Structure 1
Amino acid sequence: MSQKVRAVIARRKNEPVTVETVVVPDPGPGEAVVKVQACGVCHTDLHYRQGGISDDFPFMLGHEAAGVVESVGEGVSEVEPGDFVILNWRAVCGQCRACRRGRPWYCFATHNAARKMTLEDGTELTAALGIGAFADKTLVHAGQCTKVDPAASPAVAGLLGCGVMAGLGAALNTGNVQRGDSVAVIGCGGVGGAAVMGANLAGASRIIAVDIDDRKLATARKLGATHTVDSRENDPVEAVRELTGGFGADVVVDAVGVPETYRQAFYARDLAGTVVLVGVPTPEMRLELPLLDVFGRGGALKSSWYGDCLPSRDFPMLIDLYLQGRLDLDAFVSETIALDGVEESFDRMVAGDVLRSVVVL
């Protein structure tokens, strides 16, 4: 039997979000209804509201979430009612060419729930990243539910559902940072801060945080940065080279995703070093680089989708590290807010006043 719950809705482009009543259907085959306990406010939610991802309004926002499985549909074996789960937006299919090649983190046919949640008048909603978790409950594909240790705080666990995982994975998975490497991270918001933490976890010897905001640079130091560069006052390429013996960093993570910062990352890396793009560009952006430099500098230019994570592998492991006191995920929770505080939290996020606001239900 369907249920009526509260949810945050973006009805039209650039208009403030509203809290409205949403109808959540019973789970169909392969689906699950999850009672949401906490959901982080991510830049991607703002991009949805701004129409920067698609024009499939109205959107049901929220995707960085943790909660408890309430019910499951036919054929679900991965989770059962009562399981504490983190929601993910790349539920792998197991059948596509990437999955068959043993690279499921590149899955080309990820799953979402087939049934639609709706407004009370029957208007179908587009769930942000197939999740829609600024809500009391949401309907997802069961593969989007990753069971983890329930001892973890939902407000912290949910952050692995998107931004923090993207940053950690950019360093650990895509960048493959090794012990003793030098790493530079350009842009130290939530994703970049997590990349700093990931580099520190991997044992990097020198971690250089680059940003234009003194507050973010101070936070980056707390997350493991050994050096900081204020790129308002210093050329970041020259600064990174100076801090790495004139060579450049082994791995440079661009957590901003604009042409200027990508060029900085490209030239701030050592010969045969790695550039990781994890910041998300907008469709109109274009990049121009001398092809001879691309050839002559060697190395690897990589894009990081969701930190190239495999939720079933990475989420439980990272939660275990958190519970052991080896991964300070609490550092990312700047504030907790109610469901009706999402619109105001967007302003604080844009202003750089928070790493993450987290809706607690």
Structure 2
Amino acid sequence: MSQQVRGVVAGRKGAAVRIETVIVPDPGPGEAVVEVQACGVCHTDLHYREGGISDEFPFLLGHEAAGIVESVGAGVTEVAPGDFVILNWRAVCGRCRSCRRGRPWYCFDTHNATQRMTLADGTALTPALGIGAFAEKTLVAAGQCTKVDPAASPAAAGLLGCGVMAGLGAAVHTGGVSRGDSVAVIGCGGVGGAAVMGSQLAGAARIIAVDLDDDKLATARRLGATHTVNSSERDAVEAIRELTGGNGADVVIEAVGRPETYRQAFYARDLAGTVVLVGVPTPDMTLDLPLLDVFGRGGALTSSWYGDCLPSRDFPTLIDLHLQGRLDLDAFVTETIGLDGVEAAFARMHKGDVLRSVVLL
């Protein structure tokens, strides 16, 4: 029997979100219903509300979530009722050309629940990133549930579902940061901060955090940065080169998603170094670089999708590291709020004074 729950819905472009009654159907084959315990407020949710991702309104927002599996549909074997899980938006198919080549973290055919959650009047909802977790319960594909150690707090664990995993993975997986490397991270919000933490976890010797905001730079220090650069006061490229013996960093992670900061990343890396783009640009942005410089500097220019993570591999490992005291996920939780606090959290996000607001249910 379907259930009625409360959820945060974006009804039309640019309008304030509202708490609505959401109808959650029983799970069908390959699906699961999850009782959501916590869900982070991510920039992607704001992009949905602003119509920046698609026009398939109304949206059921929220995707950085952790909770308890309540029920599963036919054929589900990977999780069972009672499991503590982190929700992910990369439920790999195991069949596409990338999966067949042994690269499931690039899966080209990830899947979501087949059934749709609806409003009380029957209007179909589009769940953010196929999850829709600003709700007391949500319906997802069972492959979107990754079982982890329940000793972790839901507020911290859920953040691995998007922003923290994206930044940490950009360093560890995409950038291949290793022991002794020099790393520069441009943009020190939640994703950039996670890239700093990931670089420290990987053993980088020098981690340079770059931002316009001194408060964010102070936070980056707490997350593992060895040096900070306020790029409103100093030229970021010159500063990074100065801090790396005149050479530039081995890996530069661009966590802003703008042409200006990407150019900084490009010229702030060492010869044969790596630039990782994890900041998300808007559709109108273009990049102009001298092709000779692209050729002459060598190395790699790459982008990072979801930190190139494989949830079934990475989430349990990172939760274990967190519980061992080696990965401070709690540091990303700036505040906890209720479902009725999401709109205000969007406003604080615009001001840049939070790493993550987390909805507790």
Matches within 5 A, 1:1-361: 1-361=1-361
How many angstroms does 1:353 deviate by? Answer: 1.2
CA distance in 2, matches of 1:115, 1:285: 35
SS of residue paired to 2:218: helix
- CA deviation profile, 1:97-129 (whole Å, cap 9, x unmatched): 000000000000001001000000000000000
Please give the per-residue CA displacement for 1:37-70, whole angstroms capped at 9, x wherever unaligned. Answer: 0000000000000000011000000000000000
Counterpart residue type for residue 267 of structure 1: Y
Q: After TM superposition, give the deviation of residue 344 of structure 1 in Å.
A: 0.2
1:272 is paired with a residue whose SS is strand
* Aligned-partner Cα distance in 2 for 1:57–1:119: 12
Deviations 1:306-328 (A, max 9, x none): 00000000000000000000001
1:352 deviates by: 1.1
* Aligned residue-pair number: 361
Q: Which runs of 5+ in 1 are unaligned?
A: none
Per-residue CA shift, 1:123-157, capped at 9, x if unaligned? Answer: 00000000000000000000000000000000000
What's the CA shift for 1:77? 0.3
Aligned letter for 2:186? Answer: I
Give the match's secondary structure for 1:123.
coil
For 1:132 and 1:191, locate their aligned partners in 2 and report how far apart those are by CA, in whole Å: 21
Distance across 2 between alignment mates of 1:347 and 1:218: 22
> What's the CA shift for 1:350?
1.2
Aligned residue for 2:121, secondary structure, equals coil
Q: Distance in 2 between matches of 1:165 and 1:340?
A: 26
Aligned with 2:245: secondary structure? coil
Kindly provide the amino acid, as one letter, of the partner of residue 288 in structure 1.
Answer: D
Q: Counterpart of 1:198 in structure 2: which amino acid?
A: G
SS in 1 for 2:149: coil
| Cα displacement (A) at 1:288 | 0.7
What is the alpha-carbon distance in structure 1 between the residues aligned to residue 277 and residue 91 of structure 2? 22
Q: The residue matched to 1:172 in structure 2 has which SS? A: helix
* CA distance in 2 between partners of 1:326 and 1:350 (Å): 30
Deviation at 1:287, TM superposition (A): 0.5
In structure 2, C-alpha distance between the alignment counterparts of 1:236 and 1:54, rounded to whole Å: 34
Distance 1:97 1:242 in 2: 44
Cα separation, 2, equivalents of 1:265 and 1:115: 43
Unaligned ranges ≥5, structure 2 = none
- Residue aligned with 2:139, SS: strand
CA distance in 1, matches of 2:67, 2:296: 49
Please tell me the residue identity of whatever aligns with 1:124.
A
In the TM superposition, residue 260 of structure 1 has moved relative to its aligned partner by 0.6
Cα distance per residue 1:70-107 (max 9 Å; x no partner): 00001000000000000000100000000000000000
Secondary structure at the aligned position of 2:217 is classed as: helix
Q: 2:287 & 2:113 partners in 1: Cα distance?
A: 36
Q: TM-score, normalised by structure 1?
A: 1.00
In structure 1, distance between residues paired with 2:120 and 2:265: 48
Structure 1 runs of 4+ with >6 Å offset: none
Q: Deviations over 1:224-267 (max 9, x none)?
A: 00000000011101110000000000000000011111111000
Question: TM-score, with normalisation over the residues of structure 2?
Answer: 1.00
Distance in 2 between the 1:353 and 1:240 partners?
25
Q: What SS does the aligned partner of 1:345 have? A: helix
1:4-33 Cα distance to aligned partner (Å, 9 max, x none): 000000000010000000000011110000
Structure 1 Cα separation of the partners of residues 179 and 350 of structure 2: 34
Task: Kindly provide the amino acid, as one letter, of the partner of residue 144 in structure 1.
Answer: Q
3-state DSSP class of the match of 2:19?
Answer: strand
Per-residue deviation, residues 280-330 of structure 1 (Å, max 9, x unmatched): 111111111000000000000011000000000000000000000000111
Cα-Cα RMSD:
0.4
Identity percentage of aligned residues:
83
Give the counterpart letter for 1:157 in structure 2: A
